């Protein structure tokens, strides 16, 4: 059975505004303490859609067993940061910009597990064109 | 069954469908083998000379030094590839991105008072605000330079005319001495057509450049914010009979992706709003067309955005439908920032 990762932002349903204080806690269950070698928590944006995926990390924290009390990385851990001013969440025609909290757990023997909790930065912005025209061009490589 | 025989475990771009571990091991093995091959071969090559010296070994020429250069490049490429592959083992995408961001922050330390650190992923507007306007605060630069197109057309036309002239002279001489070159004559027909088209295209570009005249767009403030109104002045010179002129505020999404070995770019209009339209008038060289108008950026508009493969760009687009001329479209980029109280240029810098 895979370990369970729970992520709980302080206001999971809320829309965060740029500059807002963001607090989040996470916990790991269903795994032995000695199995967990490191945990990485990130607050990041990424794009998804027709183009190649891009990603930007706003907050990043890596903890190993030496950083944790009793060398146990499973315990509830909280982090906080200020939300950035951009990019805002966006639903476009060709791509979307998403924000999420991502927790990555590194286990023994090179295994790793990822859990995500989506959040929203800014109002829900979409494209404003009801009938968009597409133009495509290609450059050989 | 096709998936079992696929040579490259790659669906599109950087999205992998195969095992990441297997890919990393394969990459490390490739670079490692290249490094070992280069090192062993270079050592053997030079050791053989040390054991049994040859008098011509060090003479200047291609053999010895070319072999040394190629083998040394194997060592360098293999070593660097292996080093970076090993460096990435165990490092998550988030960790690499965070390290890259930290490195970027160090570079930006010099730029105190920089808005770009406080508004990540929004493109810089330095080049848009370094030219003051005559009537309003800023004169916006054009997106495309017609001069480059004109220069390219001129060079192409000159080359074609030069080659065509020489070939025609050769063909005429061959005809005069009674030995016509049929292959050359057959080649001259399509090539002369290409030359004629290049001359026509150059002439058209020259006329477009000189006859239509420059388009100038000035704006009252920059960057722009959603929901805010701005003044814009459009000045169009030339000697023209204009059927229709339109100035529009356009937002485009742009993505790039790899498809096989092609790098493709696709754009879609996410917003297009008229600033003003005018029809049925003439422009005289002594009296350029000039119009001032107010426009607003939509309140629900997305801000400008730029990442490695995805972008949202804003621009003011001038479209000219002219009498006896092809349609002329000229774009002038602007940058839209998200509207955040207390974070605008005046209060935040």
Chain B: closest CA distance from residue A121 (Å): 11
pLDDT at B218: 96
Every domain of chain A and the residues it spans: 4-126
When comparing pLDDT for B345 and A9, which is higher?
A9
Among A88, A132, A138, beta carbon nearest to B268? A132
Cβ A22 vs Cβ A80: under 8 Å: yes
Residues of B in contact with A20 (CB under 8 A): none
Residues of A in contact with B266 (CB under 8 A): 50-51, 94, 134-137
Q: How far apart are CA B20 and CA B30, in angstroms?
A: 15
Among B267, B308, B309, beta carbon nearest to A135? B267
Same domain, B75 and B162: no
Cis peptide before A87 (omega within 30 of 0): yes
pLDDT at B343: 53
pLDDT > 50? residue B345: no
Residues of B in contact with A61 (CB under 8 A): none
- B196-208 average pLDDT score: 88
Same domain, B253 and B309: yes
Cβ A115 vs Cβ A61: under 8 Å: no
Q: Which residues contact B2 (CB under 8 A, 6 or more apart)?
A: none
CATH code, domain with B243:
2.60.40.640
> Which stretch, A10-14, B141-145, B295-299, has highest mean pLDDT?
B295-299
Kindly state the helix (H) or strand (E) to which residue B262 belongs, with its residue range: strand B262-283
Chain A: closest CA distance from residue B261 (Å): 6
Cβ A110 vs Cβ A97: under 8 Å: no
CB contact under 8 A, B255 and A137: no
Q: How far apart are CA A16 and CA A88, in angstroms?
A: 10
Cβ B245 vs Cβ B236: under 8 Å: yes
Work out how many CB contacts closer than 8 A connect A with B.
172
Same domain, B22 and B69: yes
Residues of A in contact with B93 (CB under 8 A): 55
Q: How far apart are CA B175 and CA B180, in angstroms?
A: 4
Find, among B61, B217, B253, the residue nearest to A96 by Cα. Answer: B253
Q: Which of B307, B308, B341 to mutate to test the interface with A (most CBs of A within 10 A)?
A: B307
Same domain, B86 and B202: no
Burial status of residue B18 (CB atoms within 10 A of its CB: 0-12, 13-18, 19 or more) = middle
Confidence band for B25, pLDDT divided at 50, 70 and 90: confident
Cβ A141 vs Cβ B261: under 8 Å: yes
ipTM, two decimals, is: 0.88
pLDDT at B327: 86
CB contact under 8 A, A135 and B266: yes
pLDDT at B61: 61
CB contact under 8 A, A127 and B272: no
Residues of B in contact with A99 (CB under 8 A): none
Residue at B125 is within a domain: no
Residues of B in contact with A86 (CB under 8 A): 119-122, 303, 305, 337-338
Residue at B313 is within a domain: yes
Q: Which of A15, A56, A79 to mutate to test the interface with B (most CBs of B within 10 A)?
A: A56
Same domain, B59 and B10: yes
Among B13, B14, B253, beta carbon nearest to A93? B253
Same domain, B33 and B66: yes
User: What is the signed CA dihedral for B18, B24, B28, B34, rounded to 10 degrees?
Assistant: 40
pLDDT > 50? residue B64: yes
Mean pLDDT per 10-residue section of chain A, whose length is 141 residues? 88 82 94 91 95 93 86 92 94 94 90 92 80 56 51
* Cα distances (Å, whole numbers) of residue B4 to A118, B8, B9, B17: 35, 11, 10, 12
Residues of B in contact with A138 (CB under 8 A): 259, 262-265
Query: How many domains is chain B partitioned into structurally?
Result: 3
Among B94, B257, B300, beta carbon nearest to A52? B257
CB contact under 8 A, B101 and A95: no
Q: End-to-end CA distance of chain A: give it in Å, rounded.
A: 45
Among B97, B298, B338, beta carbon nearest to A57? B97
Residue at which a domain ends, from B191, B212, B233 = B212
Residues of A in contact with B256 (CB under 8 A): 51-52
**Which range marks the domain in which residue B308 is found?**
214-348
For B25-32, the CB contacts below 8 A with 24+ separation are B27/B81, B27/B85, B28/B82, B28/B85, B28/B86, B30/B81, B31/B77, B31/B78, B31/B79, B31/B80, B31/B81, B31/B82, B31/B85, B32/B78, B32/B82
pLDDT > 80? residue B341: no
Pairing state between β A134-139 and B262-283? antiparallel
Cβ A33 vs Cβ A73: under 8 Å: yes
User: What is the signed CA dihedral for B272, B274, B279, B283, rounded to 10 degrees?
Assistant: -90
Among B90, B261, B309, beta carbon nearest to A52? B309
Cβ B314 vs Cβ B272: under 8 Å: no
Same domain, B186 and B288: no
Find, among B299, B294, B115, B292, the residue nearest to B225 by Cα. Answer: B299
CB contact under 8 A, A97 and B271: no
Does the domain at A4-126 match CATH 3.30.930.10? Answer given as no
Residue at B169 is within a domain: yes
CB contact under 8 A, B340 and A85: yes
Same domain, B250 and B192: no
Same domain, B235 and B273: yes
Instruction: Tell me the average pLDDT of chain B.
Output: 84
Chain A: closest CA distance from residue B302 (Å): 6
pLDDT > 60? residue B278: yes
Tokens describing residue A107: 């286990």
Q: How far apart are CA B119 and CA B227, in angstroms?
A: 19
Q: Which residues contact B138 (CB under 8 A, 6 or more apart)?
A: B128, B129, B131, B132, B218, B219, B221, B222
Residue at B109 is within a domain: no
Same domain, B221 and B342: yes
Least trusted range by pLDDT, from B178-182, B291-295, B338-342? B338-342
Q: Which of A41, A86, A108 to mutate to test the interface with B (most CBs of B within 10 A)?
A: A86
* Cα distances (Å, whole numbers) of residue B6 to B9, B18, B160, B260: 7, 10, 46, 14
Q: How far apart are CA B100 and CA B80, in angstroms?
A: 19
- B324-349 average pLDDT score: 75
Residue at B190 is within a domain: yes
Q: Within 10 A of A140 (CB to CB), how many other CB atoms are there?
A: 8
Residue at B178 is within a domain: yes
Residue of B nearest to A62 (CA): B95
Query: Residue length, chain B?
Result: 349
Same domain, B253 and B191: no
Q: How far apart are CA A95 and CA A98, in angstroms?
A: 10
Residue of A nearest to B254 (CA): A94
């Amino acid at each position: 059975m895979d370990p369970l990762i729970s992520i709980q932002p302080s206001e999971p349903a809320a829309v965060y505004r740029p500059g807002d204080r963001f607090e989040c806690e996470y916990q790991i269950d269903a795994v032995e303490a000695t199995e967990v070698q490191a945990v990485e928590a990130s607050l990041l944006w990424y794009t998804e859609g027709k183009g190649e995926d891009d990603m930007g990390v706003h907050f990043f924290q890596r903890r190993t067993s030496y950083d944790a009390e009793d060398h146990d990385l499973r315990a509830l851990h909280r982090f906080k940061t200020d939300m950035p001013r951009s990019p805002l969440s966006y639903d476009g025609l060709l791509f979307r910009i998403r924000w999420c909290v991502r927790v990555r757990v590194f286990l023994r023997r090179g295994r790793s597990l990822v859990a995500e909790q989506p959040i929203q930065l800014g109002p829900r912005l979409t494209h404003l064109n009801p009938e968009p025209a597409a133009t495509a061009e290609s450059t050989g490589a | 069954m096709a998936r079992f025989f696929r040579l490259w475990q790659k669906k599109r771009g950087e999205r992998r469908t195969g095992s990441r571990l297997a890919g990393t091991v394969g990459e490390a093995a490739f670079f490692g083998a290249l490094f070992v091959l280069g090192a062993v071969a270079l050592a053997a090559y030079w050791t053989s000379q040390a054991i049994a010296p040859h008098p011509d070994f060090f003479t200047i020429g291609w053999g010895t030094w070319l072999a040394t250069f190629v083998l040394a490049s194997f060592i360098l490429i293999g070593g660097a590839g292996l080093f970076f592959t090993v460096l990435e083992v165990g490092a998550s995408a988030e960790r690499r991105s965070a390290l890259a961001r930290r490195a970027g922050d160090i570079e930006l330390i010099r730029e105190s008072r920089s808005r770009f650190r406080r508004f990540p992923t929004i493109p810089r507007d330095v080049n848009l605000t370094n030219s003051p306007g005559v009537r309003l605060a800023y004169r916006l630069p054009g997106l495309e330079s017609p001069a480059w197109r004109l220069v390219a057309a001129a060079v192409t036309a000159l080359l074609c005319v030069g080659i065509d002239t020489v070939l025609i002279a050769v063909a005429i001489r061959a005809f005069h001495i009674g030995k016509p070159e049929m292959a050359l004559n057959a080649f001259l027909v399509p090539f002369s057509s290409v030359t004629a088209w290049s001359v026509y295209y150059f002439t058209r570009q020259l006329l477009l450049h000189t006859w239509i005249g420059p388009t100038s767009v000035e704006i009252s403030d920059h960057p722009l914010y959603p929901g805010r109104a701005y003044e814009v002045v459009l000045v169009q010179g030339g000697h023209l009979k204009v059927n229709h002129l339109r100035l529009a505020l356009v937002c485009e999404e742009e993505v790039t992706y790899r498809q096989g070995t092609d790098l493709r770019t696709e754009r879609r209009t996410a917003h297009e709003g008229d600033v003003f339209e005018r029809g049925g008038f003439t422009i005289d060289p002594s009296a350029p067309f000039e119009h001032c108008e107010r426009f607003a950026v939509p309140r629900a508009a997305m801000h400008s955005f730029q990442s490695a493969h995805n972008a949202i760009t804003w621009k003011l687009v001038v479209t000219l439908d002219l009498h006896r001329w092809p349609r002329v479209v000229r774009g002038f980029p602007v940058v839209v920032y998200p509207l955040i109280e207390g974070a605008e240029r005046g209060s935040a810098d």
